[in-house]
């Protein structure tokens, strides 16, 4: 019997594959976690992989802005901000001049409890922290159009600062190639019109808009262009192992530092596999699996690892339910994946979060998806055109009935931290 532990919220769920069924547990290579993550980050900031160290970049700066990830990312923002503050202090920048902006993109704002978890009370009591609101046009400045024609609107705190510092967590991203890098500028602190254009139907449909692909990926290219246009000065990105320990720090000029981080991950996260009948995936546990919207990322792993007509089982806690009301409305008010895609691809039609619905519909055109969760009930799942199972055993039993003789099961406990590569 094959047994796998699946991250689920802050706990795990045990998956047991019966004897006689071919099962493959497919996990990324695990890099060693730093024994002292703060010092690892601080050393990387002092010795960047590209460009000057932060203290040198900050000489003479009066209004630095630190842009951080939101609550859906496991980025160790508290340690990164503390390291940045130490370098700014060495450069002679008064602490009272520093501001922090949460790169929410079109996600909801972070609550005070989430900010305490992300940053700690010391930072919250020392430095002003702001949420970005992409739909608040009064809080935005227009810069110019990117080379791909995306109108670049960004938070005014960005344009008012004289040094942009950003954190980031680098992992595979289901349409931008990899997270981190310029993503905390576009979409992180960009306006809704900017995000809708960057995440438009044609961009999402592009064959290179996939996990692990940067070359020729229009979404990634647009992100880099946008970050350069606002003079993104210094980024501090980390990679994490499956215990959420810091396994690498890549600091310095944002584009080159990000590329170094993605090259490090490439050798670890790309996993060769057969196209199986069933794929069992997770979203990596909390905070990545906090809602169904985020779980679409896990589904893309199953999409890449199964045959057409196969079944994807997703174990995802969804403590915040479905999440993202525009995403929910678009999916629920459609009769199925074909209608979802028809609406999204209609010229002039733009809906917030349509990209997540577009990718979900693409998957549902080729796969059955069964969700194992306590955060969304069976009726709500049915309305989202997804199957529901109350536990992992029930989901597997249902998938095996649909698979026919001699099924093969691919299991990805790490979810979006893995990139399946078909043999």
Residues marked active site are found at 107, 173
Q: What is the Cα Rg of the chain in Å?
A: 21
CB 293 within 8 A of CB 423: no
The DSSP code sequence of 27-61 is -PPPPPPPSSHHHHHHHHHHS-SBSS-HHHHTTT-
Residues near 64 by beta carbon (within 8 Å), at least 6 away in sequence: 58, 88, 93, 97, 98, 99, 161, 162, 163, 164, 165
Q: Count the Cβ atoms, other than its own, within 10 Å of residue 120.
A: 16
> Rounded to an integer, what distance in angstroms lies between the CA atom of residue 105 and that of residue 188?
4
Q: Count the Cβ atoms, other than its own, within 10 Å of residue 210.
A: 19
| CA triple 138-93-86, angle to 5 deg | 105
**Which sign does the torsion angle of CA 397, 392, 315, 22 carry?**
negative
Q: Count the Cβ atoms, other than its own, within 10 Å of residue 335.
A: 8
Beta strands in 34-181 (DSSP E): 64-69, 99-103, 129-131, 140-145, 151-155, 163-169, 172-173, 177-178
SS3 145: strand
Nearest to 180 by CA among 263, 87, 254, 110: 254
Residues near 285 by beta carbon (within 8 Å), at least 6 away in sequence: 7, 8, 9, 10, 12, 317
Torsional class of 252: left (φ above 0), alpha (ψ -120 to 50), beta (otherwise): left
Residues near 112 by beta carbon (within 8 Å), at least 6 away in sequence: none
């Amino acid at each position: 019997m094959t047994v796998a532990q699946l991250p689920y919220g802050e706990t795990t769920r045990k998956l047991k594959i019966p004897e006689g069924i071919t099962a493959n547990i497919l996990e990324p290579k695990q890099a060693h976690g730093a024994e002292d993550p703060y010092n690892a980050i601080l050393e990387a900031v002092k010795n960047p992989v590209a460009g000057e160290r932060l203290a040198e970049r900050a000489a003479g700066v009066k209004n630095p802005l630190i842009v951080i990830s939101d609550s859906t990312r496991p980025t160790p923002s508290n340690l990164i901000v503390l390291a940045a503050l130490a370098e700014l202090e060495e450069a002679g920048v008064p602490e009272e001049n520093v501001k922090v902006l949460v790169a929410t993109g079109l996600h909801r704002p972070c609550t005070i409890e989430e900010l305490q978890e992300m940053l700690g009370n010391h930072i919250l009591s020392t430095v002003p922290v702001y949420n970005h609101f992409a739909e608040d046009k009064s809080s935005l400045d227009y810069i110019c159009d990117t080379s791909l024609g995306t109108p670049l609107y960004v938070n005014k705190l960005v344009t008012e600062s004289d040094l942009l510092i950003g954190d980031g967590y680098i992992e595979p991203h289901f349409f931008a190639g990899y997270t981190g890098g310029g993503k905390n500028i576009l979409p992180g602190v960009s306006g809704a019109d900017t995000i809708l254009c960057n995440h438009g139907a044609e961009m999402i449909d592009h064959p290179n808009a996939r996990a692990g692909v940067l070359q020729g990926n229009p979404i990634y290219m647009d992100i880099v262009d946008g970050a350069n246009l606002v003079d993104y000065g210094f980024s501090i990105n980390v990679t994490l192992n499956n215990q959420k320990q810091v396994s690498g720090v890549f600091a310095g000029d944002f584009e080159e530092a990000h590329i170094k981080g993605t090259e490090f991950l490439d050798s670890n996260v790309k996993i060769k596999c057969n196209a199986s009948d069933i794929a069992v995936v997770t979203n990596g546990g909390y905070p990545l699996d906090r809602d169904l919207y985020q779980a679409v990322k896990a589904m893309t792993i199953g999409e890449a690892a199964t045959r057409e007509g196969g079944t994807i089982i997703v174990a995802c806690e969804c403590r915040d339910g479905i999440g993202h009301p525009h995403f929910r409305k678009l999916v629920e008010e459609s009769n199925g994946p074909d209608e979802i895609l028809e609406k999204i691809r209609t010229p002039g039609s733009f809906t917030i979060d349509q990209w997540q619905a577009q990718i979900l519909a693409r998957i549902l055109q080729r796969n059955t998806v069964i969700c194992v969760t306590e955060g969304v009930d069976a009726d709500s799942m049915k309305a989202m055109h997804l199957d529901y199972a109350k536990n992992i055993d029930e989901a597997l039993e249902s998938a095996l009935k649909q698979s026919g003789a001699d099924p093969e099961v691919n299991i990805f406990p790490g979810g979006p931290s893995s990139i399946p590569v078909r043999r």
